[in-house]
Every structure is written in C-alpha cells, then in structure tokens.
Structure 1
Amino acid sequence: MNRRAFLLNGAVTLAGASMSGVPQILQAAPLRGKKLAVGIIGTGNRGAGIANIIRRLDGLEVVACSDVLPKNLEKGLAHAGSKAVAYSDYRKLLEDKRVEAVVIATPLHEHYRMAVDAIDAGKHVYVEKTMTYDIDQAVSLEKKVMEHPGLVFQVGYQYRYYGLYRRVKEMIDAGWLGDVIQYECQYHRNSNWRNPVTDPSLERQVNWKMYNEYSGGLMSELCSHQIDVLHWFTGSSPLFVSGMGGIDYWKDGRETWDNVRALFEFPGGVKANVSSILSNAYKGYSLRVLGSNATVEIQQNKAYLYPEEKERKLGVVDGVTGATLQSWGQGEPVLVNFGDIHDVSTDPTVFSLLDFVACIRDGKKPFSDVVTGKHSAIAVHKANQAIASRTVQSWKL
C-alpha cells in the first residue's frame, strides 16, 4: 500500500474511533427531573445567540436576562422562556433564586468581576472567551474557582467539543500525519467589524471590541479560539511569542488593531502562526496541521487531507531538466471521512452547552475549564504584549 492510500485508509478507520467526553446527542438529561435554569448576562449578539440555541435544546431554559442596553434585553427575552425576567443590573439577576447557572457574554473587561460575583452567589458559570481581560485576573480567577469545587466553571471554547476537531486530534495522536511541528492558523474577514450605532453616545458600548479599555481586539475575540485549540492539540503551552499588528486599513478612530500576526513556539520546537485581518477574507477561517506525512486543513465545518508525496520525482522545472518536482505544487485535496460523528452542520456551541449541563448533573470537570481557560488567556495577552512592545515575550506557568 502506498503512502497516500495508507493515510486515506487510516482516516476512514478513525471514523470508528471513540470520542470520549463529547456529547453524542442533542438532549441533555434533566437535573433532578427538571431543566437547568439559566440566566444570561449580556444579551448582545453572542448572548442572544446563545439564548436562541438554548431554547432549542432539552434540559436547559433561560429564566432571566441582563443587559445595560434595552434593545439587547429585548433580543435576549425574545429567545428566553415565557416567564423569563429582565434585569438591567446583573447583580439583581444573581439574586434571583431561580437562576442555577449563568452564561456571561459581556464585553471582555467585565468577565472577571461578573464571574467572581456569580461564584459568590453560588451559581455555576459558563463564561465566554477570552476568560479574562488580563493575566493577573486569569490567575486570580483560577484560585477563586478552586475554592468552590461544588460549582462548575466552563469557558466558551466550543471547538473543544466539536467532533471535527476531536477527529483531527485523534489523527495527530495516532501518528497518521507523521511528526507535527508546524501549525498555520487564520481567522480572516473583509469587513470593518463594526456594529451599527443609532445613538453616537452608545458607540463605545456597542463597539467595545474597537477600544482597548474593554477588549483585547482580534487576538482575544477571534484568534483565541485557535490559540486554545493549539494548546489542546500540542498538549502544552507556548514558551515564546512574537508578533506584529497595526491599524493599517480601517483608519476610523478605532484603538484595537485591524490586523494581527503572532508566532508561537511550543516545547519540542513546535511553531504556530496565528493571524487575523479585516481587509481580506481569502480562506476565511482555516487551521492547518502540517505533519511530515500529511497536512489536514480544518475549515468551518469540514476538513481536507493533503498527503505528502515522499518519493523523489524528477522532471523539468523552470526549464531545468532533472530538477526535483516533489516540492512544486500540492496534490488534490481529499475530503476527510469522519464517519458517524455529530452533525457537523450543528453549531459547536450546542455540544459545549450540553456538556455544561452534564458536568453539573454528574459532578464532572469541564473539558474547557478554568485551568485551560487561564493558559489560553495568558497566551492571548502575551501575544498582544509582544505586538505592542515589538519584543519576544516568554512566561512560566
């Protein structure tokens, strides 16, 4: 069997492999015979989207929403249960005795204090990424969570629960791709990344991602997903990071960069490029795992395999007879057959939320917990520091 056939047969074989820790169904078993009562803090685009997902799942129900903007509250309530209550002050939501768990989907700078307040109120917490606004908060929040072992704390890195990524991780661990020491990650868009604002006085509240006071910009809001996957796939945290970025296209008064690029070095010489730009959407979202035997490219809801042709081939290259052809061009991509996994068209957040319920019900630790969330937060913020200072950043965990 040649190398190409071996790799493709191996990928098909993996279709029968186990997927421990990943929910296989779209229903969550009830908690003590009833649905988990959820309060959503922050019902902007992401929070309202989560409310919309929850209403289509068994085992969860949104009973309260909180947001400082009335229009956002309306969006959240439109997807909540019929008896859901609206709060302009999140602290009032935390006082609601019906609320058992909270989803925090607010601007990044609010994550830490809201998570701490929720823990003190005895609520289980699902906080969106990036976990905290800075590194000190990440370290402090880990200590806080560890002091309350009876509460489930999960970070919203939903790709950890997505079958597509689980299969690629199994391919890496099984050795099908050979030695993997290079990763290329991108999250590119061609847009100004803004939300429309009807009242200029609300600009900073609506477009908080554009301002350093509230956000870590592209690195924290987009790149953090792939940075977290890198931690998972490599089983380690970075040793060093360098980077660059700037406001070079959308010169409209924003403070966070409209393009960022970071280079991470992990133990064992593993390198990873991570980039996000807002002026070109070619290939959009892509995470490429470059092994010595093959490359896997993960897109939004599918993956392609590119086997490496190791046999030396000679021919005519640029008019030179007898030149080596093996490094010129890339073979046709092959859609990876992942077999009977969850429907890849399903939003990965579904599986993340179902595991949140399962962890509360069964007393388990989330796969994306405060420890993994801390490591990813540190990497995100170190990358921003490297870009801002134009220096190589290192750290010890």
Structure 2
Amino acid sequence: MGKSRREFIKKMAVVGAGVSVMANPLFNDVFAGNNSGVTKLAIIGTGSRGRYLQEHLYRIQEEGNKEFEIVALCDNYAPSLNKSLALAKKYHNSPKAFRNYKSLLKQVSVEGVVIATPLFQHAHIAIDCMKEGVHVLCEKAMARTLEDTKAMYDTHVNTGSILLIGHQRLFSDKYNMAMQRIQKGELGVIGQMHAHWHRGNDWRRSVPKDKPELERQINWRLYKEYSAGLLTELMSHQIQVANWVKQKTPVSVMGTGSIRYWHDGREVDDNLAAIFTYDDGTQFTYDSQTINKRYGCEEEIVGDKGVFELETNKYYPTKAVLPEPAPGIAQMIGDIEKGLFEDVPIGGPSWSPETKKRQMAVPIFEGQVGDGTKEELIHFVRFIKKGQCPSWMLKEGYNASIWTLLTEQAIDKGEVLTMPHKYRI
C-alpha cells in the first residue's frame, strides 16, 4: 500500500469516527427526559422474534439499566410461551404468563408492550393496547392491509399513546451518521439507490406430526392471508432506509415476482424485484429471494461524489477510484491516431468489461456494536417515561409499511401504482 493511500484511509477513518451521532437532536431530546421510576413492560408474541427482543431487554438490565421490568408474557401458542418463560427463569425474571392479550391488559398494569406477533395480528392488538393507554412498540411491518395500517396510525393520533414501529436502523449510529453525511451533501447528487436481501433457505418451520392443523399458524409467513412474504418481512426495512435517505416517499412503484424454486404449497413469492421512483427522478431498485444467500443484505446509496454501502459500513469516495487500464477499444483508437498501424487488427482487443471499480473503502462510522435493536428498546422505555415519541419516527414506519403493501399490489396487478390520497399523512 502506497503512502498516499495509507494517508487517505487514515484521514477518512478519523472523519467517520470523529463525528458523534449524539449530535442528532433525537438523542439529546430523549435523554433530557425524566428517567426516574421503573417502567412495566409486557411482550405479546413470544416466538423467535419476541424472544430475541426479550433477551435483549434482559441483557440491558444486566448492564445496569434498572429503568424497566418485564412483568408479563403472552402467546397463544404454548410451545413459544414455554420457551419464553424458560428464558425469563434463566435471567431470574418471574413474569405472569397469558394465552390471551386481552386478559393480560385486564389483569396486569403495564405501561408499554412489545408486539412481536405474526403480521396479521399486529393491528387489532396494537389498537386495543393504545385505547387502554398502553404505549406500543410493534414489529414491522405495521399491518397486513393498508386499511389496518392507517387505523393504527389514526388510533395513535386519537389516543396520544406512543406507537413505535420496529425499524431498528433508526437507532443505529452507523445509519444516523450516514444520513447526516448524506444530508450535508457528502455523496453529492443521489442518482440511484439499490438494495437487496438474499437468503438461502425456504422459511418453512417444522410442524408437529400429530398436529398438521397448525401448518398455517406456524408457517404464517408463507400464506398471503397472513403475510406478504419477502416484502413485509424484509423489504419493509429497506424501503424505510431509502425514504430516510431521500427525506420523502416515492411517487410510484412497479414490480414483479414469482415462485421459482420452493414449490411446496406456499402462496408468497420466493423471488421478486421492484422499482420505486421519487419525484426528483431518483430510482430505488430492490430485489429479494430465498434461493441463494451469496449476496446477502445491502443498501447502496449512489451519488456522483461517492457511494455508501450501509449494511457493511463502507464508504467509497469517487475520488478514491484506483487507476484502471484503458479499455482495449480506446487503446486501439489511440494507436490508430498515433499512426502506429493503418489497419484495425482482426481478433485483437475490442473492449474491456466495465466491472466493479477497485476503490478504497473506509468505514462510515466506527464505534457501535449491533444493529440498533438495543438502542431501540432503551429509547422505547425512555419515550414512555417522557410520554411522547418523535412524530417523524412513526411516519417512517408508517410510510414504509404503506409502500411495502403497495408493492405487493403492483406485483399482483402488474401495474405502476401510486399512493392513494386517503393513506397520505
């Protein structure tokens, strides 16, 4: 590595690490709130995601945070509830267990709930909780239908109860740093955004052999009545990031999808692609599949001055492109102009493929461990204590959910769709 390259990397790493995300008004506002007292929480939906969040909360407590207590767990599927209770015991927590969330709300006084049920159950549970004055952190996407998504938002407005949607990237230092740098113009003009999420598994979970009737309950992600598959489970995260970058929502979406590989009775696509257009002409292209995990998960923000690859925390300034050999055709033309030979040689070099440029990548941000889930949970508790949540955060979750469901409709109908006026907030 040459001296100039080492100096460049050192300089850019210092720039990335030296600007604190604590400068974000969100964080200053939250931590200025009243953090006294113990907030009582319940988790509704104790499947894999619910237990993931549950364990995060316990680990936060182990680090010395005594601002909250998990007092209740709820799930209508006994095996999941039992695993959640076992996890609670491991961390010396003794919450009450419920099979019905309405019983929980009647019998236990809670200030906040974490909802991690299957998608199609989000809306009615969240609405009932908010009407009872209970604050809600609900996993993304918000709801299975456009109508239910809007109903959740309207209930928040009418009750004043907090509704926070589980887009943990909003609490990631890396992503917040990236957004600040983008808004300052560091990437220049954003011409395109690309995102993908590739997995190499079928998403199917085992069903007890003696209870085949549980198929749709356990594998709800595979049936359109309950889920939009890759769209609501994965893409909802990444359209939120694209909207965050642009500080606006798209004006249209088109898409396509199919069941190409997993012919097992599922109803949701195992591969899909979509194109979103913003009012300034910026395009956001997206694709997802469960056939091959080679390319994983990424969001690429492409500007004329540089590129951010957000998931992998890489910044590629345009000026850092390493010199490439001239394409064969350019060499040939140059030779002809110089009079080195009179005839174009048959079978000689004609072109050089424009493959990915060799560039020096530096971190967007250095310092945070994790994807923002820990910070999301801490902030939810502090939002409860403060009695409010920044309104823009719910709008991020809301618009991501609306455009996710519109993408499903665009794919199903084979049409270019826009957001109906009645869903605009």
1: CA distance, partners of 2:95 / 2:305 = 54
1:315 aligned to which of 326, 332, 338: 326
2:86 alignment partner AA: A
* CA positional deviation for 1:312: 9.7
Residue in 2 aligned with 1:76? 84
1:384 alignment partner AA: E
* CA positional deviation for 1:317: 2.2
Residues 1:356 and 2:409 are matched in the alignment: no
Residues 1:264 and 2:301 are matched in the alignment: no
1:212-223 equivalences in 2 (<5 Å): 212-223=224-235
Gaps of 5+ in 1: none
The answer on whether the counterparts of 1:298 and 1:304 sit within 8 Å (CA) in structure 2 is: yes
1: CA distance, partners of 2:306 / 2:408 = 32
2: CA distance, partners of 1:354 / 1:184 = 31
Residue in 2 aligned with 1:97? 108
Give the ranges of 4+ consecutive aligned residues of structure 1 lying more than 3 Å apart after TM superposition: 2-12, 21-24, 27-32, 309-314, 322-329, 366-370
Residues 1:144 and 2:155 are matched in the alignment: yes
Residue in 1 aligned with 2:123? 112
The answer on whether the counterparts of 1:179 and 1:291 sit within 8 Å (CA) in structure 2 is: yes
Residue in 2 aligned with 1:375? 399
| 2:70 alignment partner, SS class | strand
| 1:280 alignment partner, SS class | coil
Residue in 2 aligned with 1:15? 17
Of all paired residues, the percent bearing the same amino acid is 32
2: CA distance, partners of 1:28 / 1:277 = 43
Larger strand proportion of the pair: 1
* CA positional deviation for 1:17: 2.4
The answer on whether the counterparts of 1:209 and 1:215 sit within 8 Å (CA) in structure 2 is: yes
The answer on whether the counterparts of 1:288 and 1:297 sit within 8 Å (CA) in structure 2 is: yes
RMSD of aligned residue pairs (Cα, Å): 2.8
**What is the TM-score with the length of structure 1 in the denominator?**
0.89
| 2:280 alignment partner, SS class | helix
Deviations 1:235-276 (A, max 9, x none): 001100000001110000001111111100112111101111
1:79 alignment partner AA: L
Please say which structure displays the higher CA radius of gyration: 2
Change (3 A) 1:182 1:6: farther
**What is the TM-score with the length of structure 2 in the denominator?**
0.84
1:1-397 equivalences in 2 (<5 Å): 9=11, 12-19=14-21, 20-21=24-25, 31-34=35-38, 36-57=39-60, 58=65, 59-80=67-88, 82-149=93-160, 151-198=161-208, 199-299=211-311, 302-309=312-319, 315-317=326-328, 320-322=331-333, 329-336=356-363, 338-339=365-366, 341=367, 343-344=368-369, 346-366=370-390, 369-395=393-419, 396=421, 397=424
1: CA distance, partners of 2:316 / 2:149 = 38
2: CA distance, partners of 1:37 / 1:9 = 46
1: CA distance, partners of 2:75 / 2:83 = 10
Alignment size in residue pairs: 387
Larger helix proportion of the pair: 2
* CA positional deviation for 1:315: 2.5
Change (3 A) 1:271 1:8: farther
1: CA distance, partners of 2:70 / 2:149 = 27
* CA positional deviation for 1:70: 0.6
